Amino acid sequence: MSTLHAHFDGKAFVPDEPVDLREGTAVRLTFTPLNGSTVLDLLSDLAREHPIGDSPADWSQRHDDYIRGAHGT
């Protein structure tokens, strides 16, 4: 297992240093934001931006319909 530093360019994680892997090699990424934010901070921000009160009352029963856009049926 190796650790490398990278940045997210909006579409992909880009290594900040050379990586000794062949192109196309599958890897598992586990990341920790280094800007001082924890995952809990990021989730809290997301919850503040999209409060539960904004969700439909039947969200828990019909989440698949809402995800697929079939909530009008």
Residue for token pair 């009352």: 57
CA distances from 58 to 18, 44, 49, 67, 72 (A): 49, 23, 20, 13, 12
| pLDDT of res. 71 | 62
Provide the β-strand partners of residue 15.
6
pLDDT-flagged residues of the chain (< 70): 1, 36, 53-54, 70-73
| pLDDT of res. 24 | 92
